[in-house]
Structure 1
Amino acid sequence: MLAATLIAALTACGSTVTGTALPGETDTRALDSGSYPVEPLNAHDDDPVLAFHERYEVAALRLADYVINPSQIDPQLKYGLDAGVTWGTIVPSSMGSYGAMGDAAAKHKMLFGFHSAAASAERSIYDTFDWPRKEPQSKFTADLTVLQFPDAAHADAAAQEFYDIDFAAQHGANQPVALSTYPGAHAHWRPDSPFLRVFLPHDSYVIALLVSVESPDLPALTTRAESAFTTQIQALTATTPLTEEQVLALPWDPDHVLMRTLNPDQSTNPDAVGGSYILTGKHGAVHFANRRVLPSDRAYVDQQLTRMEADQVAFTTAAIVIRTPSTDIADRAVTEKLFPWQVRLDADPAPGVPDTTCVENRRSDSVKRFSCLLAYNQYVGIVSSNQLLDAHQRAAAQYALFANTR
């Protein structure tokens, strides 16, 4: 009996035991990830530290979740034209003379802001170096900007100066316009033009709006402007203005969603201007459907992100990562092929990468020919390339990055 016990103990400690191995996670070392990085930038628990001025861009990306999409003014405004952050002297050209408006924003201590533009027709373009113009096929356009100032007094003064600068720049061609619902708004238009520009102070914010209709029609323009302001002011009730101290204390990627996103450039700093390194919520992400980061059909992008119940969305130059509420929902995104753009047909899957699907895209909807979508726990990753092999390697690298990120 003692001998049998000793034999059993020795077998357990040093000998090979036969049996069937339990299924485990894919060995990422066996995947073909090409030369793409497979470890997160904070692999050694050293999260990137942002420079002083970059905190304002983080605050602006936070604000993006509370800036309305122009489609909330009119569902026809579903094609994205532009979106981006503002801080310092950076303001969108839709507000008027770029240099003068930027100087005025800085003079009144603007902290940060966000703007979003859309139109009722794809590829509509306006020229705002003088008074704006647009392509004829676009019936409606809207570019809405929300800027935050230290307090209401600074916002009031800024809105007045924005208007004064812009109105003077029109050299008598424009006329003041009153909005009955918003008597504090500063608005003007050109009677032979379908555009209206308005600056409305609201608490610590200035809401700037450039809106157009099909032909010069002042009642239609003022109705749209008032509707936009009502909707935007309501959206702002879900957040609170930030103090400068709060801006500087904002966390950047606290849940490490960006750290999980394939990032060959090894970027660490927010870049919402170029759209190459962004973290925002689902609503904020839809603003970036403007043919730079996502296709311009914001309605379709919003539909797909909603089906994924997207919580946070991260963008780099190489990938998109969406955090969903659960593994089941992430897996469903793969099985239902919930790409944020229209696809043409299936493509070969990435070899060895579990929970993934690859497609060939409609070229009008994506700047890349092939895309792969993969799931890992509650995360969904999307990578794209003009070559299928490269798309497969990116998918493998994205999977490995998911597996290697805590």
Structure 2
Amino acid sequence: MRKLTTSLALAISLLAAAGCGSTIDGVAAPGEIDVRQLDIGQYPTDPVSEFSEYSYSFQSGRALAAMRLADHVVLGEDVDPKFTFGSFQAITSDTPLVMSKAVHPALEENRILFGFATGNSDIQEFSSMALAPGDEALADIMRVRKPTYFGLTVMQFPDAATAERAATGIEQLDFDVAPDQNIRVAVPDYAGAHAHWRPGVASMVATLAHGSYVLNVQVGVPEPEENTLTELIKKVFDAELPRLDKLPALSPVDVVKLPNDPNQVLERALNPKQLAGPDLNNFASFGLQGFLQTRRDLLNMRDLYTKVGADRFGTSWDSYIIRTRDDDAAKELLEGTFVGDAFQVADAPSNIPTSKCVENKDPKGSIKRFACAVQYRRYVAHVQSHQLSDAQQRAAAQYAVLANSQ
């Protein structure tokens, strides 16, 4: 058990009850608003370390290791600009759903530690993740759409020898699902890759051990052309391996010792659930690459994030927070947030000049009807709700958390 610590730049006092009966910590520093006067509804305004502690465990460490790995896994556009749609899945068990049940024995026997999977397609309605469990009927329905896609699963094992055994085992078990129909193929420039396909079917699978990592790639193209399939696999390997070379492998002990929220980004995020356990969907910290893996709808913000030096991102229960280079960069990011035809300006929270709210007019978008953003020093945070008043209260509470966590 470890109590997360917060450096306090403001004098903390427990004063002023809000109308709902809760309290807001903190007093205003010179030039800053008094957060005690904000309408925060019933939302908490303390940093997460004030009400929750992180317990080190192998299972929690697996989730943190998957977040770490996500920052070193390619996005679709890193392989080809046409791969603009995608999804992700963390691997934190010995029998991940993203891998076919047929290959689970190879994962268990070789003691898989953790992993991260990314699915990428040129068609929004297609998901390569749906093909992973080996449901041929579903696969046939998906292939009718004639997508070009790749699904990449990166897994880490205890050492290089174990990873090689796992890769060989995955290939053999998958091949043996239909040994009378599958044939083995070679991947250009990757003699160590194990690959096979079923002639006449426009997909192919390849597995490659790389140090302590194993890469499993499934690709598909509109027509069953062997060379086109192997070339796509090669492109995925070419894009992914240099990223993995920058990520030292972890031992099982290292996994347990991984810190939760090492950059204290989530410490500054609104946390209405008051839970601090790692969760890739609800309480997670990433760099830019990992964040975009989980928020594909924000890929159009990539250039702006890079321009303002955004280096850490936190997802916290239906909101997220971004750390930029400095205060001026954060202001620029706030101005560039919620821009486009899908958004209509809505009333921002009163008394917070560095804030903005919008109504989302795109029914297919991932953002709820109302969304607000607030900027405090070098941080920008986003909240959302189906009601404007609730979004405004969330934004006010988020601003207070940012002020109280300094």
Query: TM-score, length-normalised on structure 1?
Result: 0.86
What per-residue deviation string (whole Å, max 9, x for no partner) do you get for residues 340-377 of structure 1? x8742111111122300111122322340111111111
Query: Structure 2: where are the runs of 5+ without partners?
Result: 1-27
Q: Aligned match of 2:59 in 53, 78, 81?
A: 53
Taking a change above 3 Å as real, the CA distance of residues 72 and 332 of structure 1, as seen in their structure-2 partners, is same
In 2, the alpha carbon distance for the partners of 1:230 and 1:313 equals 27
Taking a change above 3 Å as real, the CA distance of residues 88 and 68 of structure 1, as seen in their structure-2 partners, is same
User: Could you say which residue in structure 1 is the equivalent of 2:242?
Assistant: 234
Q: Aligned match of 1:33 in 35, 40, 44?
A: 40
Q: Pick which of 118-127 and 365-374 moved more.
A: 118-127
Taking a change above 3 Å as real, the CA distance of residues 39 and 342 of structure 1, as seen in their structure-2 partners, is farther
1:212 aligns with 2:220: yes
1:352 aligns with 2:351: yes
In 2, the alpha carbon distance for the partners of 1:22 and 1:173 equals 72
| Counterpart amino acid of residue 142 in structure 1 | F
User: Could you say which residue in structure 2 is the equivalent of 1:302?
Assistant: 302
User: Could you say which residue in structure 2 is the equivalent of 1:15?
Assistant: none
Tell me the secondary structure at the aligned position of residue 40 of structure 2. coil
Q: Aligned match of 1:66 in 60, 69, 72?
A: 72
Tell me the secondary structure at the aligned position of residue 77 of structure 1. coil
Residues 67-216 of structure 1 mapped to structure 2, 5 A cutoff: 67-80=73-86, 82-93=87-98, 95=99, 97-98=100-101, 100-126=102-128, 127-128=130-131, 129-131=134-136, 132-133=139-140, 134=142, 136-137=144-145, 139-170=147-178, 172-216=180-224
Q: Aligned match of 2:293 in 287, 298, 317?
A: 287
In 1, the alpha carbon distance for the partners of 2:78 and 2:216 equals 16
Deviation at 1:304, TM superposition (A): 4.3
Taking a change above 3 Å as real, the CA distance of residues 189 and 301 of structure 1, as seen in their structure-2 partners, is farther
For the 8 Å contact 2:79–2:236, the answer to whether it is kept is: yes
| Counterpart amino acid of residue 35 in structure 1 | Q
In 2, the alpha carbon distance for the partners of 1:360 and 1:369 equals 6
Tell me the secondary structure at the aligned position of residue 245 of structure 1. helix
Deviation at 1:228, TM superposition (A): 1.0
What is the CA RMSD across the aligned residues, in angstroms? 2.2
In 2, the alpha carbon distance for the partners of 1:405 and 1:43 equals 10
Taking a change above 3 Å as real, the CA distance of residues 261 and 103 of structure 1, as seen in their structure-2 partners, is farther
Q: Pick which of 100-109 and 159-168 moved more.
A: 100-109
User: Could you say which residue in structure 2 is the equivalent of 1:325?
Assistant: 325
In 2, the alpha carbon distance for the partners of 1:342 and 1:279 equals 30
In 2, the alpha carbon distance for the partners of 1:33 and 1:138 equals 50
Tell me the secondary structure at the aligned position of residue 259 of structure 1. helix
| Counterpart amino acid of residue 172 in structure 1 | D
For the 8 Å contact 1:67–1:235, the answer to whether it is kept is: yes
In 2, the alpha carbon distance for the partners of 1:388 and 1:231 equals 43
In 2, the alpha carbon distance for the partners of 1:230 and 1:73 equals 8
For the 8 Å contact 2:92–2:114, the answer to whether it is kept is: yes
Q: Pick which of 169-178 and 29-38 moved more.
A: 169-178
In 2, the alpha carbon distance for the partners of 1:110 and 1:22 equals 50
| Counterpart amino acid of residue 211 in structure 1 | V
For the 8 Å contact 1:120–1:139, the answer to whether it is kept is: yes
Deviation at 1:192, TM superposition (A): 2.0
In 1, the alpha carbon distance for the partners of 2:205 and 2:116 equals 17
| Counterpart amino acid of residue 287 in structure 2 | G
User: Could you say which residue in structure 1 is the equivalent of 2:16?
Assistant: none
In 2, the alpha carbon distance for the partners of 1:312 and 1:246 equals 22
In 2, the alpha carbon distance for the partners of 1:160 and 1:190 equals 19
For the 8 Å contact 1:304–1:338, the answer to whether it is kept is: no
In 1, the alpha carbon distance for the partners of 2:78 and 2:328 equals 30
In 2, the alpha carbon distance for the partners of 1:312 and 1:350 equals 25
| Counterpart amino acid of residue 67 in structure 1 | V
Q: Pick which of 119-128 and 318-327 moved more.
A: 119-128
In 2, the alpha carbon distance for the partners of 1:372 and 1:380 equals 10
In 2, the alpha carbon distance for the partners of 1:353 and 1:102 equals 52
User: Could you say which residue in structure 2 is the equivalent of 1:10?
Assistant: none
| Counterpart amino acid of residue 84 in structure 1 | Q
Tell me the secondary structure at the aligned position of residue 151 of structure 2. strand
Tell me the secondary structure at the aligned position of residue 266 of structure 2. coil
For the 8 Å contact 1:263–1:318, the answer to whether it is kept is: no
Percent of aligned pairs with the same amino acid? 34
1:257 aligns with 2:265: yes
Deviation at 1:251, TM superposition (A): 1.3
What per-residue deviation string (whole Å, max 9, x for no partner) do you get for residues 168-204 of structure 1? 1135232211113111111111222211111111111
For the 8 Å contact 2:70–2:116, the answer to whether it is kept is: yes
Query: Structure 1: where are the runs of 5+ without partners?
Result: 1-20
Taking a change above 3 Å as real, the CA distance of residues 115 and 337 of structure 1, as seen in their structure-2 partners, is same
| Counterpart amino acid of residue 269 in structure 2 | T
Query: TM-score, length-normalised on structure 2?
Result: 0.86
